Amino acid sequence: MQISDILAPSRVSCGVKAGSKKRLLELLGELAVKDEPSLDNGEVFQSLLNRERLGSTSIGKGVAIPHGRLKNADHAVGAMVRLEQGIDFDGVDREPVDLVFALLVPEQSTEEHLQILGVLAELFMDDTLRDRLRSAQTDGDLYALIVGGQPPTS
């Protein structure tokens, strides 16, 4: 799986303003449904919010990977934002989150869900990539970095 398989340039946004976790999840919902007519913004938001209520999806170092399952999805979809200013995400390390990748998968895709989360977590643990993502000035730059930051699969 490549990041470009689940993330389109239209679902990446650089310099987003969100004053709270809830508002960020709303914005991610709006972004995730772009170019995805089968997805409903309200269902996406509710799925992300429900998962977040179980516990923070912050993975540390200013990164969060909110994720959820959708009844009407037939494939995995991603959306990514770089926040203009970090927000509290109730993470274990207490660091404000400014890099956020939302993942939505079909309701029955348990194995795929876990595999993609693993790929994303590994990707975001790269200090150099995180620094480059934080320095991105445009949506296009952010997209190019995140899809190019993943090592090729064999």
Give the strand pairing for 58-60 and 77-87.
unpaired
* Residue that the structure tokens 């919902």 belong to: 29
Q: Is residue 40 assigned to a domain?
A: yes
DSSP summary character for residue 154: -
Considering the candidates 11, 67, 82, 130, report the single residue annotated as catalytic. 67
Q: Is residue 104 one of the residues assigned to a domain?
A: yes
Q: What is the pLDDT of residues 89-129, one digit of tens each?
A: 988 888 999 999 999 999 888 787 888 889 999 999 999 99
For 93-137, the DSSP string reads T-PPEEEEEEEEEETT-HHHHHHHHHHHHHHHT-HHHHHHHHH--
Helices first, then strands: H and E counts in the chain:
5, 6
Task: Provide the number of structural domains found in the chain.
Answer: 1
Q: Is residue 16 in a domain?
A: yes
Tell me the average pLDDT of the chain: 91
Active site residue 67: yes
- Residue 12 is assigned to a structural domain of this protein: yes
Q: Is residue 44 part of a domain?
A: yes
Which CATH number do you get for residue 86? 3.40.930.10
Residue 116 to residue 22: CA distance in whole angstroms: 23
Range(s) of the domain holding residue 60: 3-148
Query: Is the distance from CB of 99 to CB of 124 less than 8 angstroms?
Result: yes
CA atoms within 13 A on the CB side of 6: 26
What local confidence, expressed as pLDDT, does residue 17 receive?
94
pLDDT in tens, the chain (154 residues): 789 999 999 999 999 999 899 999 999 999 999 988 888 899 999 999 999 999 999 999 999 999 999 988 888 999 999 999 999 998 888 899 999 999 999 988 878 788 888 999 999 999 999 999 999 999 999 999 999 865 444 3
Domain-embedded: residue 154: no
